[in-house]
């Protein structure tokens, strides 16, 4: 195993966490994005804050911890999107701290500092990805588990207990992290068996605690049923080719978007070659740590999904490359890197100057003028706290408009949701008709572009689309921004 982390590094860890968490929050928390997914978790948190139970009272398709964490933030801060994104800021901070100790265990402090500055600057320069997502949170738990495993020793087994606890939290955030927990557990059993039992005990402890909460809420069986549903439907509809991206990318953001997709194979290949030919870097555990992480993105291998897990791969590749640079050239390398990173951070820091400030019901946000005009139209058409159903997939509007969804579902993904899901939504709508429906009428070409593996037989929810015009009349249409759709008002 890598060298231990000494106690005096706790101050470094705390400082790195505070700086990167604050910078993430300051630079990106107010960025407006009509995200397909963020509203699932922010509005899910609002439901939890209102005493609803995930899986039992509303549908959830990932682990409960992201809903509970957003529920805590919603309870404290209310419907303030910038505060609901504190979980993302804290996750980025934890990932950076984990990356620092990960790289330091391979190539020392200088390489570690340069790698985290590089990864963080490039990552935070994509503010539309600094949104609430279960993958940031689970990656934070995994990164902290890595620190614990690096810190463990035969005389200090407590860190293995901590690592097991953190892996348990990761898999109850993103269930596919069970793969990582299993791989690392097998490694400890075969390689460092005296550390396996506390690791296993830690995993059992945290998993049991979450399971007990679900049992107490009466949500365990609904949670298991949702996992079964995901295996049968999510996997097929969300398969993506490795590194794929559905829209054109401005040249300045090419590295930011593809950093994860490029660094993963690069890190794995460089580590494999180094282990075979050089044998002078402690890469056994780092390589296994990265291998155990890769499967967590299944079946989504697109560029954005790779970004969430990119930190250790980038760090490992950076550490190996840095170790190859002659000592006489390292100052030049540092200077070139810092010059580029200064440019990137200046671009991120000055982003508000190029954006339109938009006061919304979810706080003061910044975005392009077209989105500001779209939100103004929507707020004029839909009163706060109205009952609204957003169809099929623009869940961010629930939080942005501060409205209530009378159904169990925040979205109906074309090509994935079943006839039973459609029937459930239709039953809820008839039982408690919303005041408004926002219909994002996606063309089939857009559905195929965004979800290329989706089932074309499920692209349209015919019964629902026939019911809406019968009960609702068309209102304003939004066409000038990426929030595109029509507001339908209930007939009186």
Instruction: Write down the pLDDT at residue 5.
Output: 52
Alpha carbon 433 to its chain centroid, in Å, reads: 32
Cα distance between residue 126 and residue 339, in whole Å: 19
Instruction: Write down the pLDDT at residue 157.
Output: 80
Instruction: Write down the pLDDT at residue 361.
Output: 96
Instruction: Write down the pLDDT at residue 390.
Output: 96
Instruction: Write down the pLDDT at residue 3.
Output: 45
Average pLDDT over residues 352-368: 88
Instruction: Write down the pLDDT at residue 183.
Output: 95
* Tokens read off for 453: 């593996």
**Is 41 within 8 Å of 132 (Cβ atoms)?**
yes
What confidence tens digit (pLDDT) does each residue in 373-427 have?
Answer: 999 999 999 999 999 999 998 999 999 999 999 999 999 999 899 999 999 999 9
pLDDT tier at 312 (50, 70, 90 boundaries)?
A: very high
Report whether the peptide linkage leading into residue 299 is cis, meaning its omega lies within 30 degrees of zero.
Answer: yes
Average pLDDT over residues 10-25: 92
- pLDDT at residue 307 is higher than 50: yes
Instruction: Write down the pLDDT at residue 451.
Output: 84
The percent of residues above 70 in pLDDT, for the chain, comes to 96
Strand partners, 439: 391, 486
* Tokens read off for 199: 């690791």
Cα distance between residue 120 and residue 91, in whole Å: 12
Cα distance between residue 451 and residue 430, in whole Å: 29
Cα distance between residue 163 and residue 188, in whole Å: 12
Angle at 404 (CA atoms; ends 402, 405), nearest 5 degrees: 130
- pLDDT at residue 58 is higher than 80: yes
Instruction: Write down the pLDDT at residue 8.
Output: 73
The set of residues, in sequence order, having a beta carbon less than 8 Å from that of 409 and lying 6+ positions away, is 58, 59, 417, 421, 424, 425
- pLDDT at residue 249 is higher than 70: no
Instruction: Write down the pLDDT at residue 127.
Output: 79
Instruction: Write down the pLDDT at residue 9.
Output: 80
What would the DSSP string read from start to end of 298-314?
Answer: TTB-SHHHHHHTHHHHH
- pLDDT at residue 253 is higher than 80: no
Backbone angles phi, psi at 364, to 5 degrees: -80, 115
Q: At what angle do helices 86-107 and 10-28 cross, to 10 degrees?
A: 140
pLDDT tier at 2 (50, 70, 90 boundaries)?
A: very low
Q: Which of 236, 167, 173 is nearest to 198 (CA)?
A: 167
What confidence tens digit (pLDDT) does each residue in 426-482 have?
Answer: 999 999 999 999 998 888 888 888 888 888 888 889 999 999 999 999 999 998 787
- pLDDT at residue 239 is higher than 90: no
Instruction: Write down the pLDDT at residue 1.
Output: 47
How buried is residue 476: exposed, middle or buried, by Cβ count under 10 Å (0-12/13-18/19+)? middle
What confidence tens digit (pLDDT) does each residue in 200-237 have?
Answer: 999 999 999 999 999 999 999 999 999 999 888 888 88
What confidence tens digit (pLDDT) does each residue in 174-207 have?
Answer: 999 999 999 999 999 998 888 899 999 999 999 9
pLDDT tier at 6 (50, 70, 90 boundaries)?
A: low
How many helices (H) and strands (E) in the chain?
A: 21, 6
- pLDDT at residue 242 is higher than 50: yes
pLDDT tier at 129 (50, 70, 90 boundaries)?
A: confident
Cα distance between residue 369 and residue 461, in whole Å: 33
């Amino acid at each position: 195993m890598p060298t231990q982390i000494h106690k005096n590094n706790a101050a470094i860890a705390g400082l790195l966490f505070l700086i990167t968490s604050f910078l993430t929050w300051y630079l990106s928390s107010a960025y407006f994005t009509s995200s397909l997914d963020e509203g699932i978790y922010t509005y899910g948190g609002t439901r939890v804050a209102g005493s609803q139970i995930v899986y039992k009272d509303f549908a959830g398709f990932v682990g409960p911890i992201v809903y509970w964490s957003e529920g805590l933030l919603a309870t404290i801060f209310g419907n303030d999107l910038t505060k609901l994104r504190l979980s993302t800021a804290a996750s980025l901070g934890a990932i950076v701290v984990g990356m620092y100790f990960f790289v330091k265990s391979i190539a020392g402090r200088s390489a570690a500092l340069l790698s985290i500055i590089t990864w963080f600057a490039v990552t935070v320069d994509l503010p539309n990805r600094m949104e609430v997502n279960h993958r940031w949170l689970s990656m934070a738990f995994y990164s902290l588990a890595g620190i614990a495993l690096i810190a463990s020793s035969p005389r200090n087994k407590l860190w293995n207990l901590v690592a097991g606890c953190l892996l348990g939290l990761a898999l109850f955030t993103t269930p596919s992290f069970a793969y990582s927990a299993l791989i690392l557990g097998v490694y400890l059993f075969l390689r460092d068996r005296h550390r396996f039992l506390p690791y296993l005990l830690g995993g059992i402890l945290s998993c049991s605690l979450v399971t007990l909460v679900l049992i107490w809420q009466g949500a365990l069986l609904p949670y298991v049923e949702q996992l079964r549903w995901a295996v049968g439907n999510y996997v097929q509809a969300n398969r993506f080719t490795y590194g794929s991206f559905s829209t054109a990318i401005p040249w300045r953001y090419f590295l930011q978007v593809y950093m994860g997709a490029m660094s993963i194979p690069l890190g794995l290949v460089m580590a494999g070659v180094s282990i075979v030919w050089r044998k002078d870097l402690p890469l056994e555990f780092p390589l296994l740590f990265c291998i155990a992480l890769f499967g967590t993105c299944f079946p989504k291998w697109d560029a954005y999904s790779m970004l969430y897990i990119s930190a250790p791969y980038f760090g490992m590749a950076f550490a190996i490359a840095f170790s190859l640079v002659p000592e006489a050239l390292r100052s030049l390398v540092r200077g070139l890197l810092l010059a580029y990173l200064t440019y990137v951070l200046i671009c991120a820091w000055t982003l508000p100057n190029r954006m339109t400030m938009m006061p919304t019901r979810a706080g003061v946000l910044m975005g392009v003028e077209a989105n500001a005009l779209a939100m103004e139209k929507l707020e004029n058409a839909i009163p706060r706290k109205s009952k609204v159903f957003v169809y099929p997939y623009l869940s961010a509007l629930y939080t942005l408009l501060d409205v209530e969804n009378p159904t169990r579902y925040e979205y109906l993904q074309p090509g994935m949701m079943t006839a039973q899901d459609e029937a459930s939504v239709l039953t809820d709508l008839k039982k408690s008709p919303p005041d408004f429906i926002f219909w994002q009428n996606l063309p089939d070409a857009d559905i195929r572009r965004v979800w290329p593996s989706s089932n074309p037989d499920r692209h349209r929810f015919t019964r629902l689309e026939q019911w809406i015009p019968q009960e609702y009349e068309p209102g304003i249409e939004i066409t000038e921004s990426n929030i595109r759709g029509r507001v339908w008002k209930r007939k009186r």
